[in-house]
Amino acid sequence: MELRENRRAVSSKEITSYHKFLEYGAIGWMRPDLLPTSFQISELKQTWFNFFNSLSHDRSEVGNYKVTAGAFKSYSHLEQYTLSGLTSLRNKLQIGVVNVSTDQT
């Protein structure tokens, strides 16, 4: 209900970002970085980013990497998202193989 009250304060850029948030939500993935700031969830976003920043850039024993994350609605959504990415990669690699074999003839 709070979102309805804030609708007038949302900029066009934030609406675009929120639509992306909804698109990811439709596939079961919550991305707090896409939530508009005027939706008054800054504490949630800050806690989320503080946690992952605490693991990033030599603050962890795994190395000097930026660590980010999204939360999936269920394991099934994670599985579908991962398989979709692997299928896309496989298709791109097959296209590369076809191009390499036709270039050599």
pTM of the model: 0.49
pLDDT reported for residue 105: 52
Residue 45 to residue 73: CA distance in whole angstroms: 18
Kindly report which listed range (3-7, 31-35, 81-85, 93-97) carries the lowest average pLDDT score. 3-7
DSSP 33-100: GGS-GGGS-HHHHHHHHHHHHTTSTTSSTT-S------EESSHHHHHHHHHHHHHHHHHHHHHHHHHH
Beta carbons within 8 Å of 80's beta carbon, 6+ residues apart: 27, 28
Q: What is the overall mean pLDDT for the chain? A: 79
Once rounded to an integer, what is the mean pLDDT over residues 72-79? 88
pLDDT reported for residue 46: 83
When pLDDT is cut at 50, 70 and 90, the band that residue 100 belongs to is: low
Once rounded to an integer, what is the mean pLDDT over residues 59-84? 85
Q: Tens digit of pLDDT for each residue in 26-69? A: 888 888 777 766 666 777 778 888 888 888 888 877 778 888 88
Q: Which residue would you say has higher pLDDT here, 33 or 19?
A: 19
Domain boundaries, the chain: 1-72, 74-105
